[in-house]
Amino acid sequence: MAQELVLGIDIGGQTTKCGVVDARGAVLAQTVIRSDTYDNVEPYIAELADALNRIIKEAGAEGRIRGIGVGAPNGNYYTGTIENAVNLTWGGSNTIEFAKLLSKAMKGIPVSLTNDANAAAMGEMTYGAAKGMKNFIMITLGTGVGSGIVIDGKIVYGHDGFAGELGHVAAVRHNGRPCNCGKTGCLETYCSATGVARTAREWLQLSDEPSLLRGIENISSKDVYDAAKEGDKLALKIFDFTGRMLGECFADFVAFSAPEAIVLFGGLARSKEFLREPIEKSMNANLLPLWKNKVKIVFSQLKESDAAILGASALAWEL
């Protein structure tokens, strides 16, 4: 019998990445479609199904697809729905029965859906840095800060399917930065890619310390990384501050679920050479004695271009 395969789909605000994946995590065929050209989910699903059928054919995978895994903003694993996804042009303010619609368009192939950070955690556990781990926390450091929590080998979904919003714990309890969620002081206002850029802009205003970052318009976290590479002191201090804040919050996460490791993924995690030391130092300083120097900080090993597809595809093996 031919080897079973799965489809992985990562839905982002602008683009949707899809791939045919085998059990070892090899992406046999992949493609990208736009997510943002429809106001309505039906024509989007139709185009997505066309794309999927194309890559199934390309990979010679007809009749061998065991299931489809989808990572999507606000995806609810329990219900297979996407709820209030304001970043999706067709997401709007209603509840979309996405898994059901896609399964129908794909002639009954079962579909499993979760949010992007949970999908990343599944990918890491199935093919990546967390292979063999039963207890770890995935933190995605991108435009925002997302998380996927694994306990006893399973993603934590909680009572309503939305557990694992660690980007919105209070890194700063009072007078913190305002967050898009309506609260203040959330971890993601400081430690996401946009948070790092925000720190840079704030600190440039607060001092007249010379820095390579001065004069750059619309500073991004990449600019801060490039400056740090050049040895820029302010840029290095920004990473130190960011890492320390992550480490402090990670210590609280460890007190919750006692994980073997915290796995970091996403654009900002590429700055690991500047983040690892302050994270480890401040996490250990804030851990109970029983955990000091025992919890690993691990950076994702998945090829960045494949990671989103792999994460979503990992869900499908459970179907």
**Residue 312 neighbours by CB under 8 Å, 6+ apart:** 8, 9, 10, 69, 70, 71, 119, 122, 123
Position among 131, 154, 214, 303 found at the interface with its own copies (CB under 8 A):
154
Q: Which of 49, 48, 52 is nearest to 30 (CA)?
A: 52
Task: Give the 3-state secondary structure of residue 190.
Answer: helix
- Return left, alpha or beta for 185; rule: phi > 0 is left, psi -120 to 50 is alpha, else beta: left
Residues 291-310 that bind its own copies (CB under 8 A): 291, 294
Q: Do 192 and 141 form a contact (C-beta atoms < 8 A)?
A: yes
- What's the burial of 306, exposed, middle or buried (CB within 10 Å: 0-12/13-18/19+)? buried
Stretch that binds its own copies, among 33-41, 62-70, 107-115, 177-185 (CB under 8 A): 177-185
The stretch among 90-98, 106-114, 269-277, 281-289 that binds its own copies (CB under 8 A) is 281-289
Residue 151 near its own copies by CB under 8 A: yes
Among the listed ranges 22-30, 63-71, 102-110, 148-156, the one in contact with its own copies (CB under 8 A) is: 148-156
Residues 43-62, interacting with its own copies (CB under 8 A): none
Using CB under 8 A as the binding rule, whether residue 175 contacts its own copies is answered as no
CA dihedral sign of residues 103, 106, 107, 110: negative
Least separation in angstroms between CB 31 and its own copies: 33
- Which residue number, 8 or 164, has a Cβ lying nearer to its own copies? 164
Return the percent helix, strand and coil in the chain, to nearest 5: 40, 20, 40
Residues 77-116, one symbol each (x = binds its own copies by CB under 8 A, - = not), give: ----------------------------------------
Edge-first strand order for the sheet with 27-34 is 27-34, 15-21, 5-11, 65-71, 111-114
Q: Given candidates 28, 156, 216, 236, which one binds its own copies under the rule CB under 8 A?
A: 156
Q: Which is nearer to its own copies, 222 or 237 (CB)?
A: 237
Contacts with its own copies in 247-266 (CB under 8 A)?
248, 251-253, 255-260
Amino acid at residue number 239: F
Single residue of 4, 87, 157, 301 touching its own copies by CB under 8 A:
157
Q: Which of 22, 97, 165, 280 binds its own copies (CB under 8 A)?
A: 165
Q: Does the protein bind its own copies through residue 125 (CB under 8 A)?
A: no
Closest CB to its own copies among residues 162, 317: 162
* CA-to-CA dists, residue 177 to 63, 87, 99, 147, 190, angstroms: 51, 22, 36, 20, 8
If the CB atoms of residues 183 and 272 are measured against its own copies, the closer one turns out to be 183
C-alpha neighbours within 13 Å on the C-beta side of residue 61: 23
The mark string for 128-147 relative to its own copies (x by CB under 8 A, - otherwise) is ------xx------------
Residue indicated by tokens 């949970």: 118
Give the Cβ contact number of residue 278 at 10 Å: 18
How far apart are the C-alpha atoms of 176 and 189, rounded to whole Å? 9
| Per rule CB under 8 A, count of chain residues that contact its own copies | 41
Question: Please, which residue, 101 or 262, has the CB nearer to its own copies?
Answer: 262
CB-nearer residue toward its own copies: 191 or 219: 191
Where on the chain is the footprint of its own copies (CB under 8 A)?
A: 134-135, 149, 151-152, 154, 156-166, 168-170, 172-173, 181-183, 248, 251-253, 255-260, 286, 288-291, 294
